[in-house]
Amino acid sequence: MPTMNMLQAINNALDIAMAEDDRVLCFGEDVGIFGGVFRATSHLQEKYGRSRCFNTPLVEQGIIGFANGLAAQGSVPVAEIQFADYIFPAFDQIVNETAKFRYRSGDLFNVGGLTIRTPYGGGISGGLYHSQSPEAYFAHTPGLKIVVPRNPYQAKGLLLAAIRDPDPVLFFEPKRLYRASTGEVPEEDYQLPIGEAEVTREGSDVTVLGWGAQMEVIERAVELAEKEGISCEVIDLRSILPWDEDSVVESVLKTGRLVITHEAPLTGGFAGEVAATVQERCFLYLEAPIARVTGMDTPFPLTLEKEYLADHLKVFEAIKASVAF
Amino acid sequence: MTTTQEIHSPTFLTGDELSIPTFRLLKQDGTLYDGGEAPELSREQALKIYHSMVATRVLDERMMAAQRQGRLSFYMQCTGEEAAVIGATAALDDADMIMAQYREQGALVYRGFSYDEFMNQLFGNELDYGKGRQMPIHYGSRKLHYMTISSPLATQIPQAAGYAYGQKLAGDELCTLCFFGEGAASEGDFHAALNMAAVHEAPVIFFCRNNGYAISTPSIEQFAADGVAPRAYGYRMHVIRVDGNDILAVLAATREARRIAVEQNKPVLIEAMSYRLAAHSSSDDPSGYRSKKEEEAWREKDPILRMQHWLVGQGWWNDDEEKALQESLRREVLETMKRAEKRPPPPLDSLVSDVYADVTPALQRQLDQLKRHIRQYPESYPKGARSLDPDVKARDDASDAQAQEGE
């Protein structure tokens, strides 16, 4: 099985989707001959032509508006927003149009073919505007699906599933892992399920939950905890919307403790949603308060990025505190 | 890329050197301007256009009256703009996509949307294609290639560019026509759309209904330029300004626009100059921002009367036919309205369907919880309570018992 980094896995998924179906189109800023600023769309224009893989003018609301129209027409657009920090000019098109297309028309029309790919997250010295994790804004919008892969294998399987899903999918790619994360990825076509979490490590003392780049942080924290004799169950949520309540609840009913971590700020972050549901469904089984290890309620910093981030040491401390409660 | 000659002193251009003319064929008395030639138009199509214009006017008058009587929550009239909307639609292939703003019901009338279909949407009953989810006038029809209306302004404009690009790739020799007002053209989506359509050569017709007002804001407070049309130059796009109350000019201009769009894969901008004779909506009162005198001046340019005069001149229409048409349409509006009012609301389950292709487990839980609540207070939720038929009740009772066991 070949080894790929996350960009190669994403590029491979796009290649498979475009080869299989002429209606699949990839476009966005610098996506054409250059292959995107991160090279996720490398060689796709050469292979499939300028009409199916192309640069767009620099206008995010136009990119997503155009993509909504294409999807309504029956095409399968995979639109790239160069950084998740720049998705906000398209907020209206995503929240008021993409998400509501099927519902408002009584299923006469839909944009289920649409996938929006966008790199998110910090740890790359990107400062305020190249580091944000905006998943919670979109999680408040019924009609969208939100997927975040943690490694190359997951990225390929989840992206292929997103492209073929009957609903529009926002696909947040952890850009810190684009080249840093490598692993074995099958060359053939495969899909991983949307809306299902994955237990990546079984344990009995505490459940540690995250998604995307934060899974690597969790792994490091858990290794420290295991050395201290704490048995951790680790869950990758994978889909923020719809999210797999049952898997998380099942785990917490077993461990009685939950630590949730994300890069985005604390207030209004998706950890709050998970915590509210878990306390509702596991109230009498909880041995400790549900802990949230997140970014601070500030804009994303630059020089003090390391201090700001929810790193493995902060997660480790939260695990210990939960067990010692 | 720019192609430009060099100059060596700072000479500014104001844009005034570009003057956009208005295309007109028909005078108000129904005769043609000198040198104007009517587009090819059979008696049959001419009468279909005229019927559609009158049917739209009658529908609007009656439904606004119904709104005033409290039978309808909200309404918007197309009044004064029937020639612009229906003339543009008549120039299209019936399979061309129309993406409208909200004041273009005439396009649906022309394509055969029945009064029953209008009424079902207006009353949000169980037969409404939109399942009672949107405010009145948010029509849509898949079979008539008319995209369901969305309230946010201008969002349909870049979507039309994308839809048309998909039509081009599919090779089906169709185009998309996108309606919007001169107010909506101030939104960023408008500029994004025109630029993308020009760069990617999408077969789309951007049809601006310049009716003078965005709710209360007159167009002179909307833009400093000479209307919307000059913006086409900035995107290198074909453009024409047309008298929007002149059915023949609108038809001829849109036919030619369609030819450019489909044969050359180029977007076209049409600015139709008209006037919103009615209020913005049933919630608006124009007396607060414009004069009766101004309205009267435009009433004299009524597009329906202008076409009627032309038809009479052709020997295709007379007063008796006019009277009979008006009477039969009024009768039909009242009959269909009564039918639609009596129809039951959409079922309770339609609250959660179509959010996704399939109902998610979390949504199903929320619906089940709602049903339990409604069963507790059925008199407070009469529309939902009627959906809870015995079968549904049995299933819910079983799941209630299960939930209680779980606790």
In this structure, the answer to whether residues B373 and B290 fall within a common structural domain is no
In this structure, the answer to whether residues B291 and B382 fall within a common structural domain is no
In this structure, the answer to whether residues B324 and B355 fall within a common structural domain is no
Residue B57 maps to a domain? yes
Answer yes or no: is pLDDT of B180 > 50: yes
Residue B7 maps to a domain? no
Share of chain B above pLDDT 90, in %: 92
How close B13 comes to chain A (CA, Å)?
A: 26
Q: Confidence class of residue B53 from pLDDT cuts 50, 70 and 90?
A: very high
CB nearest B196 (choices: A62, A71, A245) = A62
Residue-range definition of the domain harbouring residue B397: 348-406
Residue B385 maps to a domain? yes
pLDDT of res. B376: 95
In this structure, the answer to whether residues B383 and B270 fall within a common structural domain is no
Answer yes or no: is pLDDT of B407 > 80: no
Mutate to test the interface with B, among A55, A70, A110 (most CBs of B within 10 A): A70
CB nearest B133 (choices: A106, A110, A195) = A106
Write the DSSP string, B82-120. Answer: HHHHHHHHHTS-TTSEEE--SS-HHHHHHHT--HHHHHH
Mean pLDDT for A268-272 is 98
pLDDT of res. B15: 83
Answer yes or no: is pLDDT of B402 > 90: no
Answer yes or no: is pLDDT of A276 > 90: yes
Share of chain A above pLDDT 70, in %: 100
Task: Please write the tens of the pLDDT for every residue from B198-209.
Answer: 999 999 999 999
Cβ separation A109–B138 shorter than 8 A:
no
Q: How many CB pairs under 8 A join A and B?
A: 155
CA atoms within 13 A on the CB side of B177: 32
In this structure, the answer to whether residues B279 and B370 fall within a common structural domain is no
Q: pTM of this prediction?
A: 0.95
Residue B204 maps to a domain? yes
Answer yes or no: is pLDDT of B400 > 80: no
Strand partners, B179: B207
In this structure, the answer to whether residues B64 and B133 fall within a common structural domain is yes
* Boundary of a domain, candidates B321, B342, B363: B342
pLDDT of res. B84: 98
Residue B13 maps to a domain? no
Q: Which residues of B329-361 are buried (b: 16+ CB within 10 A; e: fewer)?
A: beebbeebbebbeebebbbbebbbbbbbeeebe
Mutate to test the interface with B, among A75, A103, A167 (most CBs of B within 10 A): A103
What is the tally of structural domains in chain B? 2
pLDDT of res. B97: 98
Answer yes or no: is pLDDT of B398 > 70: no
pLDDT of res. A120: 98
pLDDT of res. B18: 84
Task: Please write the tens of the pLDDT for every residue from B248-298.
Answer: 999 999 999 999 999 999 999 999 999 999 999 999 999 999 999 999 999
Residue B354 maps to a domain? yes
- Strand ranges across the sheet with A232-236: A198-201, A232-236, A206-210, A258-265, A291-295
Task: Please write the tens of the pLDDT for every residue from A31-63.
Answer: 999 999 999 999 999 999 999 999 999 999 999
Q: What are phi and psi of B209, to 5 degrees?
A: -90, 100
In this structure, the answer to whether residues B116 and B191 fall within a common structural domain is yes
Task: Please write the tens of the pLDDT for every residue from B235-255.
Answer: 999 999 999 999 999 999 999
Cβ separation A97–B200 shorter than 8 A:
no
In this structure, the answer to whether residues B277 and B218 fall within a common structural domain is yes
CATH of the domain at B172: 3.40.50.970
In this structure, the answer to whether residues B237 and B122 fall within a common structural domain is yes
In this structure, the answer to whether residues B325 and B390 fall within a common structural domain is no
Task: Please write the tens of the pLDDT for every residue from B297-318.
Answer: 999 999 999 999 999 999 999 9
In this structure, the answer to whether residues B206 and B269 fall within a common structural domain is yes
Answer yes or no: is pLDDT of A84 > 60: yes
Kindly report the average pLDDT of chain B as a whole number.
Answer: 95
In chain B, % helix, strand, coil (3-state, to 5) comes to 50, 10, 40
Mean pLDDT for B4-32 is 92
What residues contact residue B306 under an 8 Å CB cut-off, 6+ apart? B26, B27, B28, B30, B83, B245, B246, B247
